[in-house]
Structure 1
Amino acid sequence: MKPELTLHERTLTLKRYPVRKNETLQAWDAADEYLINHTQEMALDPQRPILIMNDSFGALSCWFTHKGCVTSVTDSFIARQGCLANLDANQLPHVNIVDCLAELPENPQLVLIKLPKNNRLLTWQLQQLCNLLPEDCTVIGAAKAKDIHTSTLKLFEKHLGETKTSLAVKKARLIFCRPKPVMAKPLPAPQQWEVPEHELTITNHANVFSSDSLDIGARLLLEHIPQNDKYRDIIDLGCGNGVIGLKAARLNPHASVTCVDESYMAVASCQANAKLNLHAPDQLTAKVTNCLDGLEHDSADLILCNPPFHQQTAITDHIAWQMFCDSKQVLRAKGQLIVIGNRHLGYDGKLRRLFGNVSVIAQNNKFVVYRSGK
């Protein structure tokens, strides 16, 4: 896959993050190109902020960094690192990168929104923008044409202002919205719900998986979290709202539990849930990173993992493979990795190849719980 994006006599070298050998996926898409082409002749004030929301790997941030004061808003640590790497690779000045819960700069002139996969996050961002934007701000959304539905346009109309859409170009489409500040209202509180069988109260920010109930994979894994004094250090890898880590902490009160996710909203939810559910919230630490980057080797006795099988909108198994490889490095001798996955994903083959052993400790008609030992 060629990493060069060439438009308007300008070329950027753009790579996905983390960089993989024989990469088959681009770091930008047709919606990015459509946004760049549409705004190319737009007169911009270099003193007023430009907001770029949900920039996958920094293609838009790299393109617009010379056109104004760019702030990139993302919930993804991986997207953030990808943006920084591509800015460096193209010798461009860094932009201001903030997470979705951060305060945004005042009086922006242009907002570019790559539509997130999750409509809850889109709704949150539109409400956030309605509280911020002046009437003269230009707002343009972008996505694959197949991902822009009548319901998508209604979300823009309901939460931000008058909305219309473009024709499709290369299977991408733009959304144009005129902000209406009189529609502004307070941002909603995070979703909160109960897991009575485990005596847990769970708080979820907008972009966290399974926003209002316990997902069926986590429900099965919760029943098979081990309890043993030998576990001094436990990791919940890809923690989401932290429900697995919370249960592990309850079962192993003498253990230190680290919850890891690449979503800032997930980690914020996890931190809130530790305060809600643990007698000693300091027992649990939540960290934003890519898989287990930055964690010491030979530092954990037990890792619990429910791997994602997509990166943004791309279906891929490379994240699970990296999680398993990182787990082998971070586990102490005789440490255990417990993984849950859909039956069709075949994680047992990967685990056996890496650890030399794998066993099934639970299964139902959709999910399997595997265990491998170092």
Structure 2
Amino acid sequence: MKPELTLHQRTLTLTRFPVRKNETLQAWDAADEYLINHCHSMALEPQRPILILNDNFGALSCWFAEQGQVTTVTDSFITQQAIINNLNDNNLPAITIIDCLADLPTNPQLVLIKQPKNNRLLSWQLQQLCHLLPADCVVISAGKVKDIHSSTLKLFEKYLGETKTSLAVKKARLIFTTVDKSLAAPMPQPTTWTVPEHDLTITNYANVFSSDSLDIGGRFLLDFIPSKPQYQDIIDLGCGNGVIGIKAARLNPQANVTCVDESFMAAASCRENAQINLNNIDKFDVMVANCLDNFTNQSADLVLCNPPFHQNNTITDHIAWQMFCDAQRVLRQNGELIIIGNRQLKYHEKLNRIFTKVDTIGNNDKFVVLKATK
């Protein structure tokens, strides 16, 4: 896949993160190009902020880095690293990169929004912007035509202001919104719900998977978390709200439990849920990272994982494969990786390539739970 984006006599070299050999996916899409083309003739003030939300791999951040004071907002550690790498590769000035829970810069002149997959996050961001934006701020959103529904436009109308759309170009569309400050309302609080059969109370921020109930895969996996006195170090990889790691901590109070996710909102939810559900959090830690990049080899006895099968809006299995390989590297001899996945994903075939033994320890009509031993 070609890594060069060329528009308006300018070329950027852009790569996805993590970098893979023989990458088949490019680091930008038609919505990025549409936004860049639309904004090309704008007269921007160098001293007023440009605010970019949900940039996938840095195409927008890199393009506008020299045109003003750019602040990019992302909930993704992977996106953050991609932006930093692509800015460096193109010798562009540094920009400000913040997570979705951080305070936004005041008095922005332009807001560019890539439509997130999660409408809960979009609603949360629109409400946040309504409090912040001045009347003269230009707000433009972009996404694939197939992902922009009448319900999407109603969210913009409800939380930010009058909304219109562009014609479709290369299966992408722009959304133009005029800020109406009268719509500003108190920011919504994280959702909270219970899992009574496991005596858990769970809090979720807007971009955490399955925001108002325990997802069926996670619920099934809870019944297969082992309790063994020899466990010293346990990892919940791709922890989400932390429900799996918290249950593991309860079952194994002697062990150090580390929860890892690439979502800043997931990590924040996990920390709050540990405070709510654990009597002793001294042995419980939460990290934002790309899989297990910074973990020492042979440093864990058990890894628990409910792997995703998409990155942003792209269906892919490379994240799951990286998780499996990282777990194999980090596990001690005879250490165990326990995962859950949809039956059709055939994760056992991948696990058999890198683990000594793979057993099915649970299954139902939809899911299979596998234990891979190093």
> Would the TM-score normalized by the shorter structure come out above 0.5?
yes
Name 2:75's counterpart in structure 1.
75
CA distance in 2 between partners of 1:305 and 1:147 (Å): 29
Per-residue CA deviations over 1:86-114 (Å, capped at 9, x if unaligned) read: 00100101110000000000000000000
Letter in 1 for 2:326: D
Name 1:59's counterpart in structure 2.
59
Name 2:26's counterpart in structure 1.
26
Q: Secondary structure at the match of 1:44?
A: coil
* TM-score of the two chains, using structure 2 as the length reference: 0.99
Q: Which runs of 5+ in 1 are unaligned?
A: none
Q: CA deviation at 1:283?
A: 2.4
CA distance in 2 between partners of 1:95 and 1:184 (Å): 28
Name 1:344's counterpart in structure 2.
344
Matches within 5 A, 1:52-131: 52-131=52-131
Q: Secondary structure at the match of 1:141?
A: strand
Matches within 5 A, 1:1-374: 1-374=1-374
Give the number of equivalent residue pairs: 374
Q: Which runs of 5+ in 2 are unaligned?
A: none
More deviation in 278-287 or 59-68? 278-287
CA distance in 1 between partners of 2:139 and 2:89 (Å): 29
Q: Secondary structure at the match of 1:209?
A: coil
Per-residue CA deviations over 1:296-339 (Å, capped at 9, x if unaligned) read: 11110100001000011111111011001100111111111001
CA distance in 2 between partners of 1:356 and 1:233 (Å): 20
Letter in 2 for 1:276: I
Per-residue CA deviations over 1:198-219 (Å, capped at 9, x if unaligned) read: 0000000000001111111111
CA distance in 2 between partners of 1:282 and 1:155 (Å): 41
CA distance in 2 between partners of 1:180 and 1:137 (Å): 11
Letter in 1 for 2:343: R
CA distance in 1 between partners of 2:91 and 2:269 (Å): 36
CA distance in 1 between partners of 2:216 and 2:182 (Å): 41
Letter in 1 for 2:109: Q
After the TM superposition, which parts of structure 1 deviate over 3 Å for at least 4 consecutive aligned residues? none
CA distance in 2 between partners of 1:92 and 1:67 (Å): 11
| Percent identity for Structure 1 against Structure 2 | 70
Q: CA deviation at 1:281?
A: 2.1
CA distance in 2 between partners of 1:293 and 1:266 (Å): 18
Q: Secondary structure at the match of 1:240?
A: coil
CA distance in 2 between partners of 1:356 and 1:9 (Å): 54
Letter in 2 for 1:24: T
Q: CA RMSD in A?
A: 0.6
Per-residue CA deviations over 1:135-172 (Å, capped at 9, x if unaligned) read: 10000000001111111110000000111000000110
Per-residue CA deviations over 1:230-266 (Å, capped at 9, x if unaligned) read: 1111000000000000100010111110000000000
Letter in 2 for 1:31: A
CA distance in 1 between partners of 2:349 and 2:262 (Å): 25
Q: CA deviation at 1:285?
A: 0.6
Q: Secondary structure at the match of 1:358?
A: strand
Q: CA deviation at 1:186?
A: 1.4
CA distance in 1 between partners of 2:92 and 2:282 (Å): 40
CA distance in 2 between partners of 1:164 and 1:361 (Å): 52
Letter in 2 for 1:243: V
